[in-house]
Amino acid sequence: MAEPKKLFIKTYGCQMNVYDSERMAEALGASGYVTTQSADDADMILLNTCHIREKAAEKVYSELGRFKALKAANPDLKIGVAGCVAQAEGAEIMRRQPLVDLVVGPQTYHRLPAMEAAVRAGARAVDTDFPQEDKFDHLPKGPRAMRGPSAFLTVQEGCDKFCAFCVVPYTRGAEVSRPVARVLAEAEDLVSRGVREITLLGQNVNAYHGDGAGGAWGLARLIRELARIEGLERIRFTTSHPNDMEDDLIAAHGDEPKLMPYLHLPVQSGSDRILKAMNRKHTAADYLRVIDRLRAARPDLLLSGDFIVGFPGETEADFQDTLALVRAVGYGQAYSFKYSARPGTPAAERAGVADDVASDRLARLQALLAQQQREIQEAMVGREVSVLLEKPGRMAGQMVGKSEYLHAVHVTDPRAKSGDIARVRIVESRPNSLAGVLV
Ligand code: 5AD
Ligand code: SF4
């Protein structure tokens, strides 16, 4: 039998890319590839890229440059670029980097086996279509590659919101929801193989409207149906838009015990003027009202968010509104970014804020967010949480898992086993994790 060929995939960006990388590995598995953890012995290297901010794409180009020596040592090595940079600049990548054999966008990676064959035959292949067919119908149906008791499941892709700064509607395309039956079948398969927590993924996941019995189902109904799967203990979803936070989804946070008390709900800015310029179609007060209703349903809900500073036209007063919103919410965790102009987006036409001003704002915002995160973590000390143990930690005998609130929790105890949901008392707060003891 021929030696299996080795595939090395490096994943950038969001959780959906992590999910897509697993699907690409399965698709190429049918062409005789097994995955490897190192680029050095690979027969194919795939970079699954992110285009959301400028540096992400630049990192890809510098990474590609580093493969030159590998390709010189192994002329049979094939190099591919997948994901959103591939979608946005497919032909440009081929021009700029002759080392690249293959470019595949997020909606066509089910065609990878055919592309791989073409590339092995000496061609260079680019496919960045938005095809009519659904890639999920054309991917291998066999067992999914397993990575512990917590898994991602894509239920929705693309976005119709067109925030003025964002490339997602262009790279991932229009909003599409997977049918309910497909989602349930994938979830049941995961659970039958030991998964206890599923995170539903979508660029706009709470706009989910998949075909189900009797018509389109919203996300809340999907979650309630998933919750009936025996053995599935925890459900999460990400990422949501404030305008799609419907009543039934808010209610589910209060009455569906398997839905975890953590929500990533980006707001981007606290200034109504900037929100309008961003085409967000909500005000700061609208957002705060949604948060109030969520907390009325689930008082211990831990909130996470995304923020952009230095959006074109942002003044110090606008930025103060963002700080005020952050103070009003109290985030357990958050991501914040300096605005970067993305070619092809409406905001890219507008003059940006001076870089040193934006950097200064980012530092002030991050200091506030870090303080909130620390305070909320410190308030966990002494409390009991339940932790889904996932994998060994860095220290001997240590296991690491996630609490209901998505805090990473370390436990050192020989009884701690991967896949268990353990009651843990938190004893210490560390910079990005908690330490606890089994109770
Ligand atoms: N510049 C900076 N941050 C951006 N994001 C999206 N586009 C940009 C951009 N052009 C951020 C938003 C989004 C997160 C995934 O990335 O905060 O919610
Ligand atoms: Fe991008 Fe999210 Fe806005 Fe859609 S809702 S355009 S994915 S920031």
Q: What does the mean pLDDT of the chain come to?
A: 94
Task: Decide whether any atom of ligand 2 lies within 6 Å of the 241 Cβ.
Answer: yes
> Do 118 and 207 share a domain, yes or no?
no
Task: Decide whether any atom of ligand 2 lies within 6 Å of the 108 Cβ.
Answer: no
> Do 424 and 329 share a domain, yes or no?
no
Asked whether residue 136 is assigned to any structural domain, the reply reads: no
What would the two tokens of residue 162 be? 């067109």
Ligand nearest to the CA of 267: 1
Question: What total of structural domains would you count in the chain?
Answer: 3
Long-range contacts of residues 357-362, Cβ cutoff 8 Å, at least 24 apart: 357/310, 358/309, 358/310, 361/309, 361/310, 361/314, 361/319, 362/309, 362/310, 362/336, 362/337, 362/338
> Do 270 and 404 share a domain, yes or no?
no
Looking from the CA of residue 268, the nearest atom of ligand 2 is 8
Asked whether residue 138 is assigned to any structural domain, the reply reads: no
Region of 421 on the Ramachandran plot (φ > 0 left; ψ -120 to 50 alpha; else beta): beta
| CB-based contacts of 264, cutoff 8 Å, min separation 6 | 238, 239, 240, 304, 305, 306
> Do 211 and 295 share a domain, yes or no?
yes
Last residue of a domain, one of 353, 378, 403: 378
> Do 98 and 201 share a domain, yes or no?
no
Q: How far is the CA of 325 from the centre of ligand 2 (A)?
A: 20
> Do 64 and 148 share a domain, yes or no?
no
The helix/strand/coil state of 273 is helix
DSSP 8-state class, residue 266: -
Task: Decide whether any atom of ligand 2 lies within 6 Å of the 84 Cβ.
Answer: no
Q: How far is the CA of 157 from the centre of ligand 2 (A)?
A: 11
Mean pLDDT of 82-111: 92
Last residue of a domain, one of 71, 94, 127: 127
Q: How far is the CA of 251 from the centre of ligand 2 (A)?
A: 24
The C-alpha atoms of residue 360 and residue 310 are separated, in whole angstroms, by 10
Query: Token match 């959780």: residue?
Result: 15
Q: How many CB atoms lie within 10 A of CB 234?
A: 21
Asked whether residue 307 is assigned to any structural domain, the reply reads: yes
Q: Which residues line ligand 1 (CB under 6 A)?
A: 52-53, 165-166, 266, 268, 306, 308, 337, 339-340, 342
Last residue of a domain, one of 356, 378, 400: 378
Give the pairing type, strands 176-177 and 156-157.
Answer: antiparallel
> Do 344 and 410 share a domain, yes or no?
no
pLDDT digits (tens, 9 = 90+) for 237-263: 999 999 999 999 999 999 999 999 999
Virtual torsion, Cα 320, 321, 322, 327, nearest 10 deg: 90
Q: How far is the CA of 297 from the centre of ligand 2 (A)?
A: 26
Q: How far is the CA of 204 from the centre of ligand 1 (A)?
A: 14
Looking from the CA of residue 166, the nearest atom of ligand 2 is 1
pLDDT digits (tens, 9 = 90+) for 381-417: 999 999 999 999 988 889 999 999 999 999 999 999 9
Q: How far is the CA of 192 from the centre of ligand 1 (A)?
A: 36
The C-alpha atoms of residue 79 and residue 42 are separated, in whole angstroms, by 10
> Do 318 and 408 share a domain, yes or no?
no
Residue 53: pLDDT band with limits 50, 70, 90: confident
Per-residue b or e along 376-393, where b marks 16 or more CB atoms closer than 10 Å to that residue's CB: bbeebeeeebbbbbbeeb
Atom 1 (ligand 2) nearest CA: 166
Ligand nearest to the CA of 341: 1
Residue 145: pLDDT band with limits 50, 70, 90: low
> Do 354 and 408 share a domain, yes or no?
no
- Please calculate the CA angle 151-154-156 and round it to the nearest 5 degrees: 155
Looking from the CA of residue 167, the nearest atom of ligand 1 is 7
Task: Decide whether any atom of ligand 2 lies within 6 Å of the 161 Cβ.
Answer: yes
**With 70 as the cut, is the pLDDT of residue 141 above it?**
no
Q: How far is the CA of 155 from the centre of ligand 2 (A)?
A: 16
Residue 144: pLDDT band with limits 50, 70, 90: low
> Do 111 and 11 share a domain, yes or no?
yes
Q: How far is the CA of 211 from the centre of ligand 1 (A)?
A: 30
Q: How far is the CA of 254 from the centre of ligand 2 (A)?
A: 26
Atom 14 (ligand 1) nearest CA: 306
Task: Decide whether any atom of ligand 2 lies within 6 Å of the 373 Cβ.
Answer: no
pLDDT digits (tens, 9 = 90+) for 412-439: 999 999 999 999 999 999 999 999 999 9
Q: What's residue 134's pLDDT?
A: 80
Task: Decide whether any atom of ligand 2 lies within 6 Å of the 168 Cβ.
Answer: yes
Name the residue of 157, 159, 162, 278 to mutate for ligand 2: max ligand atoms within 8 A of Cβ. Answer: 159
Task: Decide whether any atom of ligand 2 lies within 6 Å of the 204 Cβ.
Answer: yes
Q: How far is the CA of 426 from the centre of ligand 2 (A)?
A: 36
Coarse DSSP helix, strand, coil percentages of the chain, rounded to the nearest 5 percent: 40, 25, 35
> Do 235 and 114 share a domain, yes or no?
no
**With 70 as the cut, is the pLDDT of residue 1 above it?**
no
Radius of gyration of the chain (CA): 22
> Do 74 and 166 share a domain, yes or no?
no
Atom 16 (ligand 1) nearest CA: 52
**With 70 as the cut, is the pLDDT of residue 354 above it?**
yes
Virtual torsion, Cα 274, 276, 281, 282, nearest 10 deg: 50
Asked whether residue 137 is assigned to any structural domain, the reply reads: no
Asked whether residue 159 is assigned to any structural domain, the reply reads: yes
pLDDT digits (tens, 9 = 90+) for 163-184: 999 999 999 999 999 999 999 9
Q: How many CB atoms lie within 10 A of CB 73?
A: 9
Looking from the CA of residue 162, the nearest atom of ligand 2 is 6
The C-alpha atoms of residue 411 and residue 391 are separated, in whole angstroms, by 11
Q: How far is the CA of 19 from the centre of ligand 1 (A)?
A: 20
Asked whether residue 170 is assigned to any structural domain, the reply reads: yes
Q: Assess whether the previous peptide bond of 239 is cis (omega < 30° from 0).
A: yes
| CB-based contacts of 165, cutoff 8 Å, min separation 6 | 278, 308, 311, 339, 341, 342, 345, 347
- Among residues 294, 229, 307, 219, which one has the least CA distance to residue 262? 294
Task: Decide whether any atom of ligand 2 lies within 6 Å of the 275 Cβ.
Answer: no
Mean pLDDT of 150-173: 95
Range of the domain at 205: 143-378
